[in-house]
Amino acid sequence: MAYNLRAEVQKKERFAPGHRLCAGCGAGITVRAVLRALEEEDRAVVTNATGCLEVSSFLYPYTAWEDSYIHSAFENAAATCGGVEAAYNVLKKKGKVQDNFKFITFGGDGGTYDIGFQSLSGAMERGHDMVYVCYDNEAYMNTGIQRSSSTPRFADATTSPTGKVSNGKRQNKKDLTQIMVAHGIPYVAQSTFLGNFKDLHEKAHRAIYTPGPAFLNVMSPCPRGWRYPAEEMAEICRLAVETCVWPLYEVIEGEYRLSYEPKTKLPVAEFLKKQGRFKHMFASGNEWMLEVAQNYVDKKWKELLSKCR
Rounded mean pLDDT, 83-107: 96
| 20, pLDDT greater than 90 | yes
Residue pair 66/13 in contact (Cβ under 8 Å)? The answer is yes
The residue ranking higher by pLDDT, 184 or 60, is 184
Beta bridge partners of 250: 189, 257
pLDDT in tens, 131-156: 999 999 999 999 999 999 999 999 99
pLDDT reported for residue 24: 87
Residue pair 211/269 in contact (Cβ under 8 Å)? The answer is no
Beta strands per DSSP E along 50-186: 58-59, 62-63, 68-72, 101-108, 131-136
Rounded mean pLDDT, 29-56: 96
pLDDT reported for residue 5: 75
Confidence of residue 75 (pLDDT cuts 50, 70, 90): very high
Identity of the residue numbered 179? I
pLDDT in tens, 191-244: 999 988 999 999 999 999 999 999 999 999 999 999 999 999 999 999 999 999
Rounded mean pLDDT, 26-55: 96
Identity of the residue numbered 93? K
User: How many angstroms separate the CA atoms of 121 and 20, rounded?
Assistant: 30
Confidence of residue 1 (pLDDT cuts 50, 70, 90): low
Mapping DSSP to helix (H, G, I), strand (E, B) and coil, where does residue 148 land?
coil
pLDDT reported for residue 210: 98
Confidence of residue 165 (pLDDT cuts 50, 70, 90): very high
Element containing residue 107 per DSSP (H, E)? strand 101-108
pLDDT reported for residue 195: 83
pLDDT in tens, 254-284: 999 999 999 999 999 999 999 999 999 999 9
Confidence of residue 6 (pLDDT cuts 50, 70, 90): confident
- Whether the model clears a pTM of 0.85, i.e. scores above it, the answer is yes
User: How many angstroms separate the CA atoms of 152 and 144, rounded?
Assistant: 17
Rounded mean pLDDT, 74-85: 97
Mean of pLDDT over the chain? 96
Domains, the chain: 5-308 (3.40.50.970)
